[in-house]
Amino acid sequence: MTTKKLYIKTYGCQMNAYDTVRMHDVMRPLGYAASDTPEDADLVILNTCHIREKAEEKVYSDLGRLLKEKDKKKARGGKMLIAVGGCVGQAEGEEIIRRAPYVDMVMGSQSYYQLPEMVTRAIRGQGGVVELDFPAEPKFDYLPEATKQGVSAFLSVQEGCDKFCTFCVVPYTRGAEYSRKVSAILDEAKRLVDQGTLDIMLLGQNVNAYHGEGDDGRTWSLADLMAELSNINGLERIRYITSHPRDMTQDLIDIHAGKKIMPYLHLPIQSGSDAVLARMNRKHTAEFYLDILSRLRKVRPDIAFSSDFIVGFPGETDAEFEETMALVREAKYAQAYSFKYSPRPGTPAATDENQVPEDAKKLRLAQLQALLQEQQMAFNASTVGKSFEVLFDREGKYEGQLLGKSPYMQSVHIKDVNHYRGKLVSVTIEESYLNSVAGRVMSFNSNQKVA
């Protein structure tokens, strides 16, 4: 079989990053090897994100650039197929081919297990192949076994969302909530660990709504799943993302006492104003959210938090924005993401008449980001002098520098000639910056497997 080149560009969230790994799994048996550039690729897939307008526009500008590569390849007598997958594919469908007629395939976020068949049709010249179905059976069931991912790996446990926050496209692009079976997840986790993975990030759009079918006939919660995963020898770190406050049940809070559960949680609140939260259909208050943080801190005193915020949601007043600032001051984040509200077609808030003017959104975002940066600096500074385990998984910018992740998801760099790559090492933090910290190696358990 002649080897063909497959280039996949991933946009957006970790779910897409996982889907990219799985698309490679689907195409590998057909002779498609991963390529890290689109030049000269036989198949290019844009695995897209539709969450905000900017993300969508980026896809169209990348497509313009790809057309040039496609033409170059054609001039050499070759053929490059271009596919748009992920959430823009799901949401826009045929519209993509109308705007960019050189796109050969469009597939939704649930259709990529059909890639081989779509590619065959596109090669035969049946241009404009579009697949947007949500299969009756979950897509995971059709996929080949997951392959090796490295010391840190993603594991998808849940997909879709039934929460319908009024700003969000996810319930439309990813569909109804679905939880994978417990046995499939445990098998995948064990396989990853056998292949050298030490650190697993459990993924789902609304991951803590997980309710999967166990072989024992019970419905397992995310906490049940994490308890079982904690028993896997060789698996050292467990995290999960992204959670909704309403699904932070007491069993899930309690599981955070576990040694393998990392003391860091991304728990988006979006706004600190109860009135805005109600208009967003979040179905919780700021107080409810802060209570979860304090219960988690009780169970795990060293836990740190991250969140997502939207400023300029329709109708947001200055006073309501100030409530967000107040909540941030009270919650004290280690890190957080913040965005200007972006109206998404088909979502209820997009047609609200009280859209906030762009300059007000800009101003609020700058204010919020300044506060969040201050907190991030303070958090990083608070780790100076502390020692914890760091998983070194990549090379740094400078020669002899190694980068790793702390339990709090900080980037940690040390000076080292690759000796600790792929390993969990005890490090003392000596310096802190806005986006990273620097440390010195304390001790290293040499019995560890090397990935």
Radius of gyration of the chain (CA): 23
> DSSP assignment of 349-379, as one string?
GGG-S-PPPHHHHHHHHHHHHHHHHHHHHHH
Q: Which of residues 7 and 341 has its CB atom nearest to ligand 5AD in the complex? A: 341
| Residue 171 engages ligand SF4 in binding (rule: CB under 6 A) | yes
| Residue 283 engages ligand SF4 in binding (rule: CB under 6 A) | no
Q: Which among 107-115, 152-160, 212-220, 340-348 is the span making contact with ligand 5AD, rule CB under 6 A?
A: 340-348
Query: What is the distance between the alpha carbons of residues 86 and 89, in angstroms, rounded to a whole number?
Result: 5
By CB under 6 A, the residues from 67 to 106 that bind ligand 5AD are: none
Query: What is the distance between the alpha carbons of residues 55 and 22, in angstroms, rounded to a whole number?
Result: 22
Site string for ligand 5AD, 46-65 (x = CB under 6 A): -----xx-------------
Q: Which of residues 106 and 168 has its CB atom nearest to ligand 5AD in the complex? A: 168
Query: What is the distance between the alpha carbons of residues 381 and 17, in angstroms, rounded to a whole number?
Result: 30
Query: What is the distance between the alpha carbons of residues 392 and 343, in angstroms, rounded to a whole number?
Result: 39
Q: Do β-strands 43-48 and 81-85 pair in parallel, antiparallel, or remain unpaired?
A: parallel
In angstroms, the Cα distances linking 396 to 69, 400, 407, 412, 450 are: 31, 8, 19, 10, 19
Identified binder of ligand 5AD from the candidate list 41, 209, 310, 334, rule CB under 6 A: 310
Q: Which of residues 149 and 205 has its CB atom nearest to ligand SF4 in the complex? A: 205
Q: Which among 26-34, 147-155, 193-201, 337-345 is the span making contact with ligand 5AD, rule CB under 6 A?
A: 337-345
Query: What is the distance between the alpha carbons of residues 266 and 245, in angstroms, rounded to a whole number?
Result: 10
Identified binder of ligand 5AD from the candidate list 48, 149, 179, 270, rule CB under 6 A: 270
Q: Which of residues 168 and 229 has its CB atom nearest to ligand SF4 in the complex? A: 168
Q: What six digits make up the tokens of 177?
A: 């909530």
Distant-in-sequence, close-in-space partners of 426: CB < 8 Å, separation ≥ 6 = 387, 388, 389, 390, 441, 442, 443, 444
Identified binder of ligand SF4 from the candidate list 22, 239, 244, 279, rule CB under 6 A: 244
Site string for ligand SF4, 185-224 (x = CB under 6 A): --------------------xx------------------
- Residues of this chain that bind ligand 5AD (CB under 6 A): 51-52, 167-168, 268, 270, 308, 310, 339, 341-342, 344
